[in-house]
Chain A
């Protein structure tokens, strides 16, 4: 080392030896560049081979929110049923209760990643006015009116007019100040209100399940078709980009022949099992129990439990079938266009929540489509949170559709055999993946990306903003009213959803397989 010190002290002019030592590591850059380009080319070639083979090049992700200018008159909205779901739907139109704004700003201050309020405020201005509110619980009725007055809204030049409060929906439907209604009541009220709304010429956004009974499905469908009002069923998951991508994957036959679809619900909390909060203000004076149970098949004495936790009884809904199978069926029907199944079998029981309910908390349904050579299996439990996902199984590949889309090649696929053997398709990685929010489609993904996809964990705030699906679904409905077009989740789709869900419910209640008679158009 002392020699080195001496040599540095001399400070000679740059000679050949100096130059060599000074630039000794430069060749490393040459090697790096060569290797880097080799690797890039290898990845590109591999990707291109898969992309062109599968026709993935023209799968495009539309931006979640194409914003047309809001022209024309301001549309006037009425909400019937201002409970938990009703509040969310009205927020989707641009109206939030002051308490919600307060709670969300507090949460955002405590956790900078909580962007609910920001997402709400960045919603598109739908040029709507909330003019009417109807609810059978006084507190919620008042909250609905307070919501209409709240100045904090994504709607520019929001009207400061107070919404009118209605105890009875018939009065609301008679109002000339209402162009369209959101119906977010318990299921047993869906049909009577929707039919009256259609007859009154009001456009309808109806929460799922479309009705409580099979008969009502026919009645609602007829009423909507005869009236010509714009009807949207509340499956906001239709707006999910992942479903639109999955639809294209199926269309391009990437999965091969599909014979089995498995879709599931796993929840493990009282809230997830409809044991919802009973507000302390609720009592005989503030709750209109008689009106509530008017269309229910069995009349029982005043019950706050039944009023607020109505999903637990067949008198007011159909439990898992109407609440969650309906969403799953809607998703699969959107992706595969299955329509009404030929037969349905169902089983299950009340295995965990022995709280007086009569709907099952563990529920399984098998829907058969012999013409499509396909079975759709739905399995649900409300007492376990294990993630089982939604899987479409083809002979050549398997697709999991959630927030993301993940397609994996089948080891035994004839179609991909050569590519697997040549190493072009790596079975340890997905063949195709779409990551929500990333606005991009990638054919060969890394292990990390694969993991993010399967967890649904992917944040991006650079391209595309975070949008609420409910807002998009409401927007689709309102845009359709203005443009006189058919919304995404229209009445024919609602008919198929309703019949499929009622086939499941009937199979469970009758303890036997039921069949759809396409000639008589009845479940037998």
Chain B
């Protein structure tokens, strides 16, 4: 991953500012999603996973069927969102946070993909065909992973240069 990102020239000026803006916005989104779930004692990923369709549906559904697995997944999801959100905003371990965020979003996408013929009881706030906001956020996080900004603007600048 690091090798790949090194091949790309570091962004500067307006490019850097916009990439940092993108990083902070996605971080904000992750952090709030995590905190909302943390604050709601009744929140669980069960309903979302139980509705899963597509090739990974079996795995997601087996999580719902196992109370311990569900508890672990819910815990990791909440704290993963919060940790990734904080890391993206602060620019702390930026590349790792971007990859981790992309991975998490990819899981959401794969759990309920907007493919033709798949319908879900939970209404989406827009209309999607294959591409939805999860997929776009996933791609945006990959951009951030390959154009790392945290060593330029972020806590990583202090850590890795000290």
A-to-B contact residues, CB < 8 Å: 1, 3-5, 8, 11-12, 14, 18-19, 21-26, 28-29, 32, 36, 40, 111-113, 115, 435, 438-440, 442, 447-448, 451-452, 455, 457-463
Tell me if B130 counts as interface (CB < 8 A to partner A).
Answer: no
How far is it, in angstroms, between the C-alpha of A460 and the C-alpha of B65 when the chains are bound? 10
Tell me if B54 counts as interface (CB < 8 A to partner A).
Answer: no
- Taking the closest CB of chain B, its distance from the CB of A462, in whole angstroms, is 6
- Say whether A21 contacts B162, CB under 8 Å: no
Q: Given A18-B161, A25-B91, A28-B89, is A461 in contact with B152 using a C-beta cutoff of 8 Å?
A: no
- Say whether A460 contacts B46, CB under 8 Å: yes
- Say whether A4 contacts B12, CB under 8 Å: yes
Residue of B nearest to A465 (CB): B67
B-to-A contact residues, CB < 8 Å: 9-12, 20, 23-24, 27-28, 31-32, 35, 39, 41-42, 44, 46-47, 50, 61-62, 64-67, 70-71, 74, 86, 89-91, 121-123, 151-158, 161-162
Name B65's contact: one of A115, A455, A463 (CB within 8 Å): A115
- Say whether A113 contacts B155, CB under 8 Å: no
How far is it, in angstroms, between the C-alpha of A111 and the C-alpha of B58 when the chains are bound? 9
- Say whether A452 contacts B91, CB under 8 Å: no
Residues of A within 8 A of B46 (CB): 459-461
- Say whether A460 contacts B44, CB under 8 Å: yes
Residues of A within 8 A of B31 (CB): 32
Residue of A5, A439, A447, A459 with highest tally of chain B CB at under 10 A: A459
How far is it, in angstroms, between the C-alpha of A25 and the C-alpha of B16 when the chains are bound? 13
Name A8's contact: one of B10, B27, B41, B123 (CB within 8 Å): B10
**What 3 pairs between A and B have smallest CB-CB spacing?**
A112-B65, A22-B158, A22-B157
Residue of A5, A8, A19 with highest tally of chain B CB at under 10 A: A8
- Say whether A451 contacts B122, CB under 8 Å: yes
- Say whether A40 contacts B39, CB under 8 Å: yes
Residues of A within 8 A of B122 (CB): 448, 451-452
Q: Given A21-B152, A25-B24, A25-B89, is A462 in contact with B11 using a C-beta cutoff of 8 Å?
A: no
Name B162's contact: one of A14, A25, A451 (CB within 8 Å): A14
Residue of B nearest to A11 (CB): B161
Residues of A within 8 A of B67 (CB): 461-462
- Say whether B41 contacts A452, CB under 8 Å: no
- Say whether B61 contacts A36, CB under 8 Å: no
Residues of A within 8 A of B123 (CB): 447, 451
- Taking the closest CB of chain B, its distance from the CB of A41, in whole angstroms, is 12
- Say whether B24 contacts A112, CB under 8 Å: no
How far is it, in angstroms, between the C-alpha of A439 and the C-alpha of B68 when the chains are bound? 19
Residue of B nearest to A439 (CB): B42
How far is it, in angstroms, between the C-alpha of A1 and the C-alpha of B91 when the chains are bound? 20
Residues of B within 8 A of A462 (CB): 44, 67, 70-71, 74
Q: Given A448-B122, A451-B122, is A5 in contact with B10 using a C-beta cutoff of 8 Å?
A: yes
- Say whether A22 contacts B47, CB under 8 Å: no
- Taking the closest CB of chain A, its distance from the CB of B67, in whole angstroms, is 5
Name B153's contact: one of A3, A24, A111, A457 (CB within 8 Å): A24
Residue of A nearest to B66 (CB): A112
How far is it, in angstroms, between the C-alpha of A307 and the C-alpha of B71 when the chains are bound? 50
Q: Given A25-B89, A25-B90, A113-B50, is A457 in contact with B121 using a C-beta cutoff of 8 Å?
A: yes
Residue of B nearest to A458 (CB): B47
- Taking the closest CB of chain B, its distance from the CB of A26, in whole angstroms, is 7
Name A4's contact: one of B10, B23, B50, B61 (CB within 8 Å): B10
- Taking the closest CB of chain B, its distance from the CB of A9, in whole angstroms, is 11
Residues of A within 8 A of B35 (CB): 36
- Say whether B28 contacts A32, CB under 8 Å: yes
Name A36's contact: one of B32, B44, B66 (CB within 8 Å): B32
Q: Given A115-B65, A451-B123, is A24 in contact with B154 using a C-beta cutoff of 8 Å?
A: yes
Residue of A18, A36, A460, A461 with highest tally of chain B CB at under 10 A: A461
Residues of B within 8 A of A435 (CB): 42
Q: Given A18-B157, A25-B91, is A113 in contact with B61 using a C-beta cutoff of 8 Å?
A: yes
Residue of A22, A40, A439 with highest tally of chain B CB at under 10 A: A22
- Say whether A19 contacts B158, CB under 8 Å: yes
How far is it, in angstroms, between the C-alpha of A455 and the C-alpha of B122 when the chains are bound? 10
Residues of A within 8 A of B152 (CB): 4, 21
- Say whether B121 contacts A23, CB under 8 Å: no
How far is it, in angstroms, between the C-alpha of A447 and the C-alpha of B122 when the chains are bound? 9
- Taking the closest CB of chain B, its distance from the CB of A409, in whole angstroms, is 22
- Taking the closest CB of chain B, its distance from the CB of A21, in whole angstroms, is 5
How far is it, in angstroms, between the C-alpha of A8 and the C-alpha of B66 when the chains are bound? 50
How far is it, in angstroms, between the C-alpha of A432 and the C-alpha of B147 when the chains are bound? 47
- Taking the closest CB of chain B, its distance from the CB of A45, in whole angstroms, is 15
- Taking the closest CB of chain A, its distance from the CB of B129, in whole angstroms, is 22
Known: A8-B10, A25-B24. 5 other contacts (CB 8 A): A1-B9, A21-B153, A22-B153, A28-B27, A459-B47
- Taking the closest CB of chain B, its distance from the CB of A506, in whole angstroms, is 42
- Say whether B90 contacts A440, CB under 8 Å: no
Residues of A within 8 A of B86 (CB): 29
Residues of B within 8 A of A21 (CB): 152-153, 157
Residue of B nearest to A438 (CB): B42
Q: Given A14-B161, A115-B65, A458-B47, is A25 in contact with B154 using a C-beta cutoff of 8 Å?
A: yes
- Say whether B61 contacts A28, CB under 8 Å: no
Q: Could you name 6 residue pairs across A and B whose Cβ atoms are closer than 8 Å? A: A1-B9, A4-B12, A23-B155, A112-B61, A113-B61, A460-B42
How far is it, in angstroms, between the C-alpha of A458 and the C-alpha of B62 when the chains are bound? 16
- Taking the closest CB of chain B, its distance from the CB of A62, in whole angstroms, is 17
- Say whether B24 contacts A28, CB under 8 Å: yes
How far is it, in angstroms, between the C-alpha of A198 and the C-alpha of B141 when the chains are bound? 73
Residues of A within 8 A of B39 (CB): 40
Name B158's contact: one of A14, A115, A442, A452 (CB within 8 Å): A14
Residues of A within 8 A of B24 (CB): 25, 28
- Say whether B64 contacts A1, CB under 8 Å: no
Residue of B nearest to A39 (CB): B32
How far is it, in angstroms, between the C-alpha of A435 and the C-alpha of B65 when the chains are bound? 19
How far is it, in angstroms, between the C-alpha of A440 and the C-alpha of B28 when the chains are bound? 29
Residue of B nearest to A449 (CB): B42
- Taking the closest CB of chain A, its distance from the CB of B106, in whole angstroms, is 22
Residues of B within 8 A of A112 (CB): 61-62, 64-66
How far is it, in angstroms, between the C-alpha of A386 and the C-alpha of B147 when the chains are bound? 53
